[in-house]
Structures are given as structure tokens and as C-alpha cells.
Amino acid sequence: MGACCTSPAPVAPNADVTDPPNRNGVPPFTTTASGGKGSKGSKPTPASTQDNQGRHWAENSANKKRAAKAPWQMKTDASAPKPSTDACEPCNDQGFDFAQTFPMFVMKMKTFMELKTMRSHEDMLAEGKVFEWTPSMGRVWFMSHQWTSFSHPDPAAEQLTVAQKLVKTIMDGKARSIFATEEEWQGYITREANRFLNFPELTAEQLAEDATKGYVWLDYASVPQASEAEEQRANAIDSIPYYVDHALVFLALVPRVEHKDLPGVFCDYKSWQSRGWCRLETQVHELRLSTNLEGEIMPGVGKIDVPRRPLIVHSADYATTYDLFDNFYMNWQRKNSVFTGEFACCRLGHKRTAGTLHAGSKAADKGGTIPCDKGRIKPLVRALWERKIAHMKTQHPMLQWMLLWRWVTHTELLMSENAEDDGSADDPALSTLEDIITKYNIGDDVWFGVVPRPPFKPGTHRSAEPLTPCSPLALPVPGRPSHVKGSVFLGAPLLHTVGAQGVVARLQGGPTLGNRAQRPDARVVRQMDGARKPKPTNLTLTVTVALTLVLSLTLSRTSPERSSRCP
């Protein structure tokens, strides 16, 4: 059981009236005694409900006994996805799709723009305004938000109005205007300003078309709300990864709106960020897969694209985002994991009393305890990480070197249930250097980003020859005992790192340690040499580089340690 179960967050005096389900006929978030929304005596004071900010739709599921189904399982048999045998060809993504246990109901953007208020799935379905989405339709805008009352997601249509105005701005080709800074705009259209990855840039015109021809997934309209639809809601929860995974735009609708049943309590970006279920949606989005494109980002390395960045809508004319780099370095911390987020079940101490949680359902009157949502969705989140990493391992070694470690290093951190660093998120599989090498698939090829000797076969690209102090790449490092002793393991991390720097330096056009190392299989470096001939006009730089290389080679070949130990 998770940490939430042993140390639940303080329960507000009226917290028992704040948990879920919305269902037809029985106003959710009410006690059977209080008689529903607005009942006197049941309204909590602002001071007592600081934690009771807007709900996430998934917490409306009463069917919490069932563990979430893992949406994706790693396949090890013959039916497993067959990765590309050629790094230049798009990899075969078959087998990486999430399971969908409830259809993805969407509405046309035009329908969304005409809404006066958010309407339930049943109403919209009856009028034919929501329908099942299929991949061929494309362009789904997944809208994540919090409910701002107990009985309706957006009773005053404040969130809806904000979303409609913002989408209208994008439709008009003025997407740039919703970002306050050029940096954020660049972050959105480039995903990560990185001259090596060089993702194709979005344009305001493209965004306008995506909005005009798009579809909207919105919880209240897309997921059954009826009390008898508990199983369907549970299936919809299991399908969250599928929904987010297939959405073109992930839009967090977070304008500052006062909760209608909790005076003084506001739903905003901060409260949205704090919700575990909202974090789950964000996590799914961040763990989406890249796609292969035509062309190369560097010789032998195919071009890829990554999902768009989240669009965080604060008001009708103001949205923010963060690029991949910022997300990786700033957001991915223990304190931001799904499991350190706020869950209603934890705040309630996992106690079910008559007339409280899931009031009106058969289970509600039995009393007792309710399972923790965290335990329920843990397999789901773990599967997200496994899928992402498995997919990246099918990609070119260069891309693995550049990107894979970002996800591998953060898997345990973002599965953590404790924001404090108590060591519980340390990977238990690691105890030796060999464990690290295994976990990170550290071979010369992956580390240095070079193209391995053909034919490239994913999973088998580790160098057959161990790195030794006599290897061509083993640069003598004066004063570094690890190298002098000739230990492979002592010198390897440094040498690998130096090599990585060298490759990067080469790509930047500077003199390289990788080149200096004269690595025989450094095909990328050599190709870069051919592709990047020095400009004739830059004579000074050319001479400097040449002298540096000659001097470096001379020093390395005449190193006393090397001379005495190597043939």
C-alpha cells in the first residue's frame, strides 16, 4: 500500500461531502443527509477546504476495487514488435499502441465552439454531437481541467468560455499572440530548441487548421456520467493513455475560477498541477512516442518528431508552455510525480462511510475502506514508462545516446510516492558498475553516438571489443590513476564522457576529441568531416584546428604510460 495509506493528508472537517461521483439523479459530492448541493450546514468554510479544490473526472469512478488494467504490456514472444533493421528506415511502431477499453468519444471543434455550457455525454450522444473517434480522423484536442462545482464541471461556463476564445484566436492564425514571450512561443513550435534534433517547426497557419478541422475530447461529454455506467467509467480511466496518446493537442484548461460549492477556494494552474489524476494525464502526454520522419538529422540518423508541448491555458488570451528541456530538467522531480500528487481517497483516509464516498451507489452504504487510487493506477503508470523506454530502444543508437537516458534516469523518480528524498526511489536493481552499464545499455556505439558497424541490429549493437587503455579512444589522462592502472571500468566513464563531448563538439563545428581519438568506427565523425569542410575563408580556424589535432595526436602517442603498456 502506498505512503498515502499510512499517512493520509489531513481530512478537512467536511471532506466527507467532497468526494465524487457525479451521476444523474443523485447530486455528487453530497451527503444523503444533506440533501445535495447548496444544502445548509454542509458548506465547508474556505479555511477548512483548502485542499478541496476542483476534482478530476476520474475520481468520479465508484468502481475503485478493480485495479487499473495495464494499458500496454512488453511483448517478449514472436509477436513482439519488430524494430527496424535499418536505422534510416522508420521503425516499426506496431505493438506500442495502448489498449482502449472504452471508445474515445469526441465532438467536432465546431460543436465545441457553439456550446453554451458543458453538456453531459448522455445528452450529447443522444443528439449525435459526440461520436467515436478513429485514428483516421486525427487532430484531437484533449482538454484536461478540474470540476468547479460538485454537480457540474463548469456551472458558469467560465472554463468553456476561456477555451472557446482561445481556440478562436488560434483559428484566426494568431496563436503567437497567446504566448507572452517569444521564448515560450519558440518552445511550443520547436518543442525543444535544439539544433541537433531539429524537430520540424509548427506554424500559426498549421495550428489554425488543426483547430478548425479538429475534434475535442472533454471528460463530461466524452465519458458516461450516469450512475449505472460505473464500469464504463472505469474502462474510460483505463483508456486515458489511449486518449492522450492519440491526441494532437494536450490542452490544460486552468483559468482561475472560484469553486461554486466551496467559497473562497479557487481552481487554477496550481491546483490543477497538484491533482494526481491531472498529473497522470500530463505524464501520459510526456511519455508519448516519437515518430519517424523522412530525412536525416545527421548522416545516418533518421529525423524524428515528438509530440507537441502542453498548452496551458490561463485565460482567454494567455497560455504558457514549457519545452522538452525545461520539462526534463525542471518538472521531472519527485515532488511532481503522479504519486506525490493529491488524491481524494488519500485525503479521506480511505474510509468509506454511509452516505459519503460514492453516495447512492450500492457500495456506499457498506462502510469500511476504499482502495487507494495510487495503487490502482500504479501498473498503468509503470507501463507508460516501460513502453516509452522499449520504444526508444528500437531507435538509432545516436538518438538513444541523445534521448533515452532522460527517461531511463527518471523512471523511478517519477514513480516515487514520497516527495522527500528518503532513498525509496533509488533503483533497487543497481548495486555495481556493471548494473549501470546494463541498465543504460552502455556500449561504445550508444555512448558515442556513432553508427555501429553494419548491419545495425537493435539490441546487438554493443561493441564486441572491450574498451581498454590501449584502445584507440583511450586517451591518456595525466594524473588520473584509473587510467594508469589500466582498469577498463575506472577509465571508461571518463573516456566515454570525453568521447561524447567530442562528438558534440564536432557537430558544433569545433575541433573534436573524438577526431583526436582516431576512433576507427566513428563513422559519424568522419562523415561530418566530409560534410563540413572548413570554409576557405576561415584560414585561421583551420590552421588552429590542424595544429591542435597534430599536437594532440603527438602527445597521445608519446604518452609514457601508453608507450610502456601498448604495442
Q: Of residues 23, 350, 410, 461, which one binds another protein by CB under 8 A?
A: 410
Mapped onto helix, strand or coil, the DSSP state of residue 275 is strand
Spell out, one character per residue from 376 to 405, where the chain touches another protein: x when CB under 8 A holds, - when not: -----------------------------x
Q: Are strands 249-253 and 311-315 parallel, antiparallel or unpaired?
A: parallel
Nearer to another protein (CB atom), residue 63 or residue 337: 337
Nearer to another protein (CB atom), residue 201 or residue 422: 422
Phi, psi of 150 (to 5 degrees): -75, -30
Q: How far is the CB of 314 from another protein (least distance, A)?
A: 24
Which of positions 318-337 make contact with another protein (CB under 8 A)? 329-330, 333-335
Binding window for another protein (CB under 8 A); candidates: 35-43, 193-201, 204-212, 409-417: 409-417
Q: How far is the CB of 348 from another protein (least distance, A)?
A: 28
SS3 content of the chain, % helix, strand, coil (to 5): 40, 10, 50
Residues 233, 226: contact at Cβ < 8 Å?
A: no
Q: Of residues 231, 296, 386, 427, which one binds another protein by CB under 8 A?
A: 427
Q: Based on the shown chain and the rule CB under 8 A, indicate whether residue 482 belongs to the binding site for another protein.
A: yes
* Residue 139 zone, left/alpha/beta (φ > 0; ψ -120 to 50; rest): left
Q: What is the DSSP string of 163-227?
A: HHHHHHHHHTT-GGGGBSSHHHHHHHHHSS--TTT-PPPP-HHHHHHHHHT-EEEEHHHHS--SG
Q: Based on the shown chain and the rule CB under 8 A, indicate whether residue 295 belongs to the binding site for another protein.
A: no
Q: Based on the shown chain and the rule CB under 8 A, indicate whether residue 412 belongs to the binding site for another protein.
A: yes
Beta carbons within 8 Å of 131's beta carbon, 6+ residues apart: 105, 106, 107
Q: Based on the shown chain and the rule CB under 8 A, indicate whether residue 426 belongs to the binding site for another protein.
A: yes
The residue count for binding another protein (CB under 8 A) is 32
Mapped onto helix, strand or coil, the DSSP state of residue 430 is coil
Q: How far is the CB of 497 from another protein (least distance, A)?
A: 5
Q: Based on the shown chain and the rule CB under 8 A, indicate whether residue 494 belongs to the binding site for another protein.
A: yes
Q: Based on the shown chain and the rule CB under 8 A, indicate whether residue 430 belongs to the binding site for another protein.
A: yes
User: What sign for the dihedral angle of Cα 405, 407, 408, 409?
Assistant: positive
Q: How far is the CB of 501 from another protein (least distance, A)?
A: 8
Residue closest to 426 by CA, chosen among 334, 497, 492? 334
Nearer to another protein (CB atom), residue 67 or residue 477: 477
Q: Omega into 466 within 30° of 0, i.e. cis? A: no
Q: Based on the shown chain and the rule CB under 8 A, indicate whether residue 497 belongs to the binding site for another protein.
A: yes
Q: Based on the shown chain and the rule CB under 8 A, indicate whether residue 196 belongs to the binding site for another protein.
A: no
Q: Based on the shown chain and the rule CB under 8 A, indicate whether residue 415 belongs to the binding site for another protein.
A: no
Burial 464-490 (b: 16+ CB within 10 A, else e): eeebebebebbbbbeeeebbbeeeeeb
Binding window for another protein (CB under 8 A); candidates: 103-111, 150-158, 430-438, 514-522: 430-438
Q: Based on the shown chain and the rule CB under 8 A, indicate whether residue 429 belongs to the binding site for another protein.
A: no
Q: Based on the shown chain and the rule CB under 8 A, indicate whether residue 3 belongs to the binding site for another protein.
A: no
Q: Based on the shown chain and the rule CB under 8 A, indicate whether residue 489 belongs to the binding site for another protein.
A: yes
Binding window for another protein (CB under 8 A); candidates: 28-36, 199-207, 372-380, 421-429: 421-429
Residue closest to 412 by CA, chosen among 338, 462, 357? 338
Residue 77: count of CB within 10 angstroms of its CB: 5
What are the Cα distances from residue 39, in Å, to 28, 42, 353?
Answer: 13, 6, 19
Nearer to another protein (CB atom), residue 26 or residue 413: 413
Q: Of residues 313, 408, 467, 475, which one binds another protein by CB under 8 A?
A: 408
Beta carbons within 8 Å of 104's beta carbon, 6+ residues apart: 132, 133, 140, 217, 222, 239, 242, 243, 246
Q: How far is the CB of 532 from another protein (least distance, A)?
A: 24
Residue closest to 382 by CA, chosen among 448, 337, 326, 320? 337
Nearer to another protein (CB atom), residue 312 or residue 408: 408
Q: What is the DSSP string of 513-525?
A: HHHHTT-TT-HHH
Long-range CB contacts (within 8 A, 24+) of 549-558:
549/511, 549/515, 549/516, 552/516, 553/516, 553/518, 555/476, 556/475, 556/476, 556/516
Q: Based on the shown chain and the rule CB under 8 A, indicate whether residue 424 belongs to the binding site for another protein.
A: no
Torsion of CA 316, 317, 318, 319, to 10 degrees: 70
Nearer to another protein (CB atom), residue 318 or residue 325: 325
Binding window for another protein (CB under 8 A); candidates: 310-318, 349-357, 488-496, 516-524: 488-496
Q: Of residues 354, 421, 434, 557, which one binds another protein by CB under 8 A?
A: 421
Q: How far is the CB of 100 from another protein (least distance, A)?
A: 33
Q: Of residues 91, 359, 425, 484, which one binds another protein by CB under 8 A?
A: 425
Phi, psi of 24 (to 5 degrees): -65, 135
Q: Based on the shown chain and the rule CB under 8 A, indicate whether residue 194 belongs to the binding site for another protein.
A: no
Binding window for another protein (CB under 8 A); candidates: 220-228, 312-320, 426-434, 448-456: 426-434
Mapped onto helix, strand or coil, the DSSP state of residue 381 is helix
Which spans of this chain sit near another protein (rule: CB under 8 A)?
329-330, 333-335, 405-406, 408-410, 412-413, 419, 421, 423, 425-427, 430-433, 436, 440, 481-482, 489-490, 493-494, 497, 500
